[in-house]
Amino acid sequence: MGNLPAETVALALGLIAGLHVYWGVGGVWPGRDAQSLARTVVGGPPGMKPPPLLACVAVAGLLLVAAGLLLMTGGVWATWLPTWLLRLGTAGVAAVLLLRGVAGYFMQRIRPAPAGTPFVRLNLLIYSPLCLLLGGLTVWALLG
């Protein structure tokens, strides 16, 4: 049997990676157009375009690497990495997710998004709590 927390986080990260690729190739959901997408997922000012394909693919690649680390940590995938390096990498994934989750609640002070953008609300209701949940599950996967 696998490690359910690790598998859950890996699946979520894989889906989020797919969403980044979708945006990179021109997808606009959950926006209506490129500008509303930028205001919804980045919190950009009016007229801002979404990040370019290369940036979206780079983020997707990092998310997939993180998902792979989780699958190896959970014993789902065989690993060639030394245990200490695998655990260090997975701890790094947990740290990034938890930091993003906590920082999201201070985002207006760190990187103010224009007031009234959908990002501000979605960050508080979905993005930050999701990062905290995934970070917590990653810690659980490490301990399991």
pLDDT digits (tens, 9 = 90+) for 71-122: 998 887 778 889 999 999 999 999 999 999 999 998 877 777 677 789 989 9
* Residue range(s) defining the domain that contains residue 51: 4-143
When divided into structural domains, the chain yields a total of 1
pTM as predicted? 0.92
Is the distance from CB of 63 to CB of 16 less than 8 angstroms? yes
